[in-house]
Structure 1
Amino acid sequence: MTRSQDATRLGASLRHAPIYLVLLVGSIISLIPFLWMVVASTHRTSDLFGTPLPVLPGGELLTNLARLQEDVNFGRVMINSLAVAIVYTAFSSIVSIMAGYGLAKFSFRGRNVAFGLILVTMMIPMQVLLVPLFQMMASIGWIDSYQAVILPFVASAFGIFLMRQSFLDFPDSLIESARIDGANEFRTFYRIVLPVAKPQIAALIIYTFMTQWNSFIWPLLMLNTEDNYTVPVALNTMIGLSRVDYSGLMLGSLLATLPLLILFLIFQRQFIAGLLGGAVKG
């Protein structure tokens, strides 16, 4: 019996071997740009155009880091980006969660129309909004301010859609039971509904933080002072007409990915649980 089970397992492994091989090759290919970024950040820019190309880390990491700090005050712009991304994520997540819950669990006239209008806004290109939003921010004196970067996009159509779909699956009977027991709406929402939606909230937080952290066009238009720059805007200033510091850009890009990796590691279990939970519905 044991030999039969071993033979069955071996046969199954052999049948899945091509799939595993394809996944392995795909994983290696997807890691190559990141590994090259690590290697390039430890060499001089001239080394990156030499022959042969460097394939192992070099010894210029501290030199590149000092030059990066000198050129764009990278420590300051990292703090700026973290502050903007954290504040935006907090406000946008609250708006998305509350709006999604209201659209999913409260019946009121025009609910479907309101949700449809929210979805329609996802089809509007960002480029169409730049001019009117810039004029609006200029008229209230918010140019070169962080509130101009954060507030116009706090209400995320995708975030509202994500949370609404999540709350639609929550049993109405549990909400009604809590109301019968005397719990008010806020207590019902906070104590009963939110704990069940933690995986979807984790996915929302990761997506929202990543969106703001990588945002470039709007902060570029709003922020005029170097001390107020975010990381993407600051790195863009390193690209000159006649000279590009590729080693510094690679190092800056490498450091800029660290907050995203840390955030994913923190919410990894909830994020994966949300994906698996959505995969087994029905």
Structure 2
Amino acid sequence: MKLLNYGPKGQEKPGLLDADGNVRDLSGTDAVLAGAGVSLDALDKLRALDPASLPLVAEPGRIGSCLTDVPNFYCIGLNYVKHAEEAGMALPTEPIIFSKATSCLSGPNDPIVIPRGSTRSDWEVELGIVIGKTAHNVSEADAMDYVAGFCVVNDVSEREWQLERGAQWINGKSAPTFGPTGPYLVTADEVADVQNLNLSLSLNGEELQNSNTSDMVFNVVQIVSAMSQFLELRPGDLIATGTPSGVGMGLNPPRYLAPGDVVELQVEGLGSQRQEAIAAS
């Protein structure tokens, strides 16, 4: 299944993409695309519905984040070999785990608001994992049994705030609109090989990131298993799994978002995003 939220910000309705690419309205059901609403059990109930029986949405308009809210928004740092090289950092021996504030969640085509005082706002195309059931001390062999699905994430980052304003990366990761997510939550059964997905990003039409999830240092099952040794993952948790090379910080000279810039990104089979950068009012 491909699930989405559509409608004005704060008034989104849940929807399902049918086989013909049409949006079907789920608001007449008890569907909520957040938390327990995207648990494996909840997804099984949605899977049992006949899409043709659901109202057709002729003009869905704005597409919101595929998750209206998340219990936790986790990230994995330096998880592509060439990105670690461009950052001048050694490859990690264990996944580097950090968080984004959940309030940064944004629609896939909503503007990126460059915060006041920011001079180094940057882009990062990433594969997102959505957790489908409570996971604690999970083995790698069983890790996929805990995954609800996948989505596209742009892990927008303010590099000065991330690297020079204290020891916590969350400082530069969490401004409002710094977490465009979606357009779809694609259930795990729809993804044949999550470790063989192309992902790319362009800025103003110039492709700057182009890679494949096969280049991840730690793959999906390793990430889920490793994280579950330290904490309890919950249904609806979102994990952004790292970005390939080509971020603004790594260019020579470095290049960062300015008002009017347009970022376009995609992950194979999961959909695409488009954001225009604007200055904070």
For Structure 1 versus Structure 2, the TM-score category normalised by the shorter chain is: under 0.3
TM-score (norm 1): 0.22
TM-score (norm 2): 0.22
- Please state which structure has a larger fraction of its residues in strand: 2
Bigger CA radius of gyration: 1
RCO comparison, higher one (Cα < 8 Å, 6+)? 1
